[in-house]
């Protein structure tokens, strides 16, 4: 079984591309979603509170993701500390997940910061979803009902697309004019044939 990374900066539409692969029967591990689920476990909550204090917990003593995001996306060191807490758990969880999907030709690991986190080292190849910056910003504002400044803060914590293009083996352009399904089908066939 091949392990393939799927990434793209915020608002590029990588989740949409992941869904197309799922329709093709490819198992997709949604790392960002799993990280959120793992943050609901007692050990992570305790670690988050130790790192950032009780102001990032809600009245039910769960992680308040909005409060945490407001804190870490303004401070690269705090974001790195959070990633150092969560990424090892995601790595272990992904390994276990792969064991349950080892009868497939390949699986996808969808993550926003695949390269930034160093997770790309676990994969035979990676797929990068790209889109123009203004389209990405508009998509996130519409999806998350956040201000443009909040989107730009998140973008600042991701590598530029140009840097990621140097690392990706496959690229999907999701610019609202280029058809994405033919691109995904071509990549799917290439991965199956390699």
Domain boundaries defined on the chain: 2-27+101-193, 34-85
Residue 76's pLDDT is 83
* CA 67/CA 57 separation, integer angstroms: 8
Residue 74's pLDDT is 81
Residue 60's pLDDT is 87
Residue 109's pLDDT is 98
Q: In the chain, which residues have pLDDT < 70? A: none
Selecting from 3.40.605.10, 3.50.50.60, 3.40.50.300, 3.40.50.970, what CATH number does the domain 2-27+101-193 have?
A: 3.40.50.300
Residue 144's pLDDT is 92
Find the DSSP H helices in the chain: 14-23, 31-38, 42-52, 65-72, 76-99, 133-144, 148-156, 161-165, 180-193
3-state secondary structure of 170: strand
Residue 122's pLDDT is 92
Residue 148's pLDDT is 95
């Amino acid at each position: 079984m091949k392990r393939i990374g799927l990434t793209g900066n915020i608002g590029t539409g990588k989740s949409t591309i992941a869904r197309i692969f799922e329709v093709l029967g490819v198992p997709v591990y949604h790392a960002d979603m799993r990280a959120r689920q793992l943050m609901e476990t007692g050990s992570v909550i305790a670690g988050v509170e130790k790192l950032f204090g009780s102001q990032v917990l809600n009245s039910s003593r769960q992680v308040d993701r909005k409060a945490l995001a407001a804190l870490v996306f303004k401070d690269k060191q705090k974001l790195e500390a959070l990633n150092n807490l969560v990424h090892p758990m995601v790595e272990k969880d992904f390994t276990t997940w792969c064991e349950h999907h080892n009868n497939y030709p390949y699986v996808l690991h969808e993550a926003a910061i695949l390269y930034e986190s160093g997770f790309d080292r676990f994969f035979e190849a990676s797929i990068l979803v790209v889109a123009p910056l203004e389209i990405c910003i508009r998509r996130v504002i519409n999806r998350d009902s956040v201000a443009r400044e909040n989107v730009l803060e998140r973008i600042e914590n991701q590598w530029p697309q140009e840097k990621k293009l140097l690392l990706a083996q496959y690229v999907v352009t999701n610019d609202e004019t280029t058809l994405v399904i033919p691109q995904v089908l071509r990549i799917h066939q290439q991965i199956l044939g390699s």
